[in-house]
Structure 1
Amino acid sequence: MNTANKLTIFRMILVPVFMIFLFSDINNAQYIAAAIFILASITDALDGHIARSRNQITNFGKFMDPLADKILVSSALISMIELGKIPAWVVVVIIAREFAITGLRVIAASEGITIAANKLGKIKTITQLIAIIALLFNNYPFRLINLPFDQIMIYVAVFFTIISGIDYIYKNKEVLHSGDR
């Protein structure tokens, strides 16, 4: 097993640890959860970089890396609903987009087409991670100046989630029609 795949597995292991701290009664546990989430997010960027730079791209990594990312982000977002920090519709929109684009990628793969991540998809991911981190830190330090940065960022993330989803579907619409007769 190569380093990139080990980092992906490590990220998967961090998800339940993140959840345990997020819902723990221990003092400052939410900040520990935030640190774990940040660490897991860093492993996402790091494993992809390592796999590409060392030419260690594997089928395991192609499958598990995006799955680990979706599980990490989805678990954090769903938790934010339970903690009363974001409305459920926000999470439904984000997760629905992930299902739709994953489905599109599966159809494309069955046709021998690879749909790589694009700039809007990367912006979507970054805005989601920033929003989640701001929510985990209870909007600190922005709350000191009464700036609802966490709420602004969650809506920015929703915007880029929708726009990037539309962009992926539009640019790959031929995949959806490739089996039509």
Structure 2
Amino acid sequence: MSIPNIITLCRILLVPVIVWAIASNEMEIAFAVFVVAGVSDAVDGFLAKRFNMSSELGALLDPLADKALLVSIYVSLGIWGAIPRWLVILVVSRDIMIVGAVMISWVFGKPIPMKPLMVSKLNTVAQVSFAALVLGALAFGFEPAPYDLFLMGAVTVLTLLSVSLYLVEWMRHMSTIEPSR
């Protein structure tokens, strides 16, 4: 168990804290925990790369922690009414489709290599930025317009583009399966 993995596990443990904070209308706490989670993500990545502490466990835990945090925040803010529910459904559905495709490929004995696409990285930046803006606006009482509309548009377009590219790649990968006789 390396230091970056411990930091990542701590980030996973922050998920229920941030959900509680949003549900309890403690937006300052939610924003602060979100910032701590973001800093911890940067720190664990830096340590893993700089000090050669990368591991298979870390390669699995880090994206899991990121997705758990983002999905939880989007769902919580959607339930709270701070972001449109259609956007929550879009963001969560993308992740479900990708995980489902990976699971199906494993079931067929044709695991697909997990390599994040550039559009997916941009999507994550847009999702994080939008969540930070909404949480910051709720915590500190400022009007996020017009930046919220711009970021919401970016999240929408990048989410749709990302899932489309992943599904095309997955279908290409899965089309090499031989039919059973």
State the TM-score bracket (shorter-chain normalisation): 0.7 to 0.9
Stretches of structure 1 lacking an aligned partner (at least 5 in a row): none
Asked whether the equivalents of residues 27 and 135 of structure 2 are also in contact (C-alpha less than 8 Å), the reply is: yes
Question: What are the Cα deviations for residues 35-74 of structure 1, in whole angstroms up to 9, with x where unaligned?
Answer: 2112212322332343233333333223322221111011
**Which residue does 1:8 correspond to in 2?**
8
Match of 1:102 among 99, 107, 117: 99
Using CA pairs under 8 Å that are at least 6 residues apart, name the structure with larger relative contact order, 1 or 2. Answer: 2
C-alpha displacement of 1:138: 1.9
Q: Which moved more, 1:146-155 or 1:163-172?
A: 146-155
Distance 1:112 1:84, change over 3 A: closer
How far apart, CA to CA, are the structure 1 residues paired with 2:54 and 2:14?
Answer: 22
Instruction: Kindly state the Cα deviation for residue 141 of structure 1 after the two structures are TM-superposed.
Output: 8.3
Give structure 1 regions of 4+ aligned residues with deviation exceeding 6 angstroms.
139-142
The alignment's TM-score, normalised by the length of structure 1, stands at 0.83
Q: Deviations over 1:153-181 (max 9, x none)?
A: 12311211111111222234322223242
Alpha-carbon spacing, 1:44–1:75, altered in 2? closer, same or farther (3 Å): same
Query: How many residues get paired?
Result: 176
* C-alpha contact 2:21 2:27 (8 A) present in aligned 1: yes
Structure 2, unpaired ranges of 5+: none
Identical amino acids, percent of aligned pairs? 28
CA offsets 1:102-156 (integer angstroms, 9 cap, x no match): 233445565354221121111000000000111112276872xx73322331231
TM-score w.r.t. the length of structure 2 is 0.83
Equivalence map 1:30-179=2 (5 Å): 30-107=27-104, 110-111=109-110, 113-138=112-137, 143=143, 147-179=145-177
